[in-house]
Amino acid sequence: MFSPVNQTQHFTEPNLADYLGDSVMLDSFGNNLNVVVVGASGGLGRAFQDILLDIPSVNRVFSLSRKSEVFRSSKLENIYVDLESTETIEDAAERIQSRAGTVNLILLATGLLHDGPDFQPERSWTSLTAQSLERAFKINTIAPAVIATKFLPLLAKKKKSSFIALSARVGSIGDNRLGGWHSYRASKAALNMLIRTFSIELTRRNPEAVCACLHPGTVDTRLSKPFQRNIPQATLKGSIESAAQLIKVINNLTPNESGGFYAWDGTEIPY
């Protein structure tokens, strides 16, 4: 378990061009792709957005967040979404359906680990409160569940399509050897269960679709900043690097692997 500290190590983000080219493609999906990135104002969400805009087979990127962004590409359409508002999620799904009809890839790049001094990962059960559990579950579990119910029906049929949620290795029950971080672990474990359950129903409705959880590794974003001191420099990833690796995993996933939980390098993580 990482210990919160005030100082973080310096990290230099690699250039986007270093990760583009034939190695970062979505060729298993075909061409003229419509892609949705939820949480596009975050570190990983923005990285996904920027890489996807430069993939030739991507026709349109719908960028969902609470922030208004300047359009930097004719491919990009920004849509306001508040994760705690079902109404804005429903409106976004309806808007995307009216613009594109169906989508080929939905990337859910959201998550909450800390938020000011009153919401930090718990080191002990003595720090666990009903309020912290409620806050973690609202963002890490309930919001993704609502998004899935509104967006899974938009996935294209009769060809590969995917709904991908970013989870975390600490949400693995089988891999939990350190304890702590109770709210975050529990909310991500619940997310994993929901994605697994959604995948079973999705297979019946849309046999070519993939629904899976991905663990990005430890990425140099706002979420991990307070916990980087004890992380070896070699294992700390930039957001562009991590997003590029995850896109490769997504491209390689097949319907037979739907419902799984995978790391950034494609290895399966126990639930």
Q: H or E segment at 261?
A: strand 261-263
Written as six digits, the tokens of 31 are: 């061409």
Q: How do 76-80 and 261-263 pair as beta strands?
A: unpaired
What is the average pLDDT value for the chain, to the nearest integer?
85
Position 198 pLDDT exceeds 80: yes
CB distance 240 to 19 below 8 Å: yes
pLDDT at 1: 30
Q: H helices of 76-124, where?
A: 86-100
This prediction has a pTM of 0.85
Residue 4: partners with Cβ closer than 8 Å, 6 or more residues away = 114, 120, 121, 226, 227
pLDDT at 228: 45
> What band does 11 get if pLDDT is binned at 50, 70 and 90?
very low
164-179 confidence digits (pLDDT tens): 999 988 888 888 888 8
Least confident of 71-80, 150-159, 186-195, 217-226: 217-226
Instruction: Give the gyration radius of the chain's Cα atoms.
Output: 18
Residue range 213-236: mean pLDDT, rounded: 62
- What domains are defined for the chain? 16-263 (3.40.50.720)
Q: H helices of 12-65, where?
A: 43-53
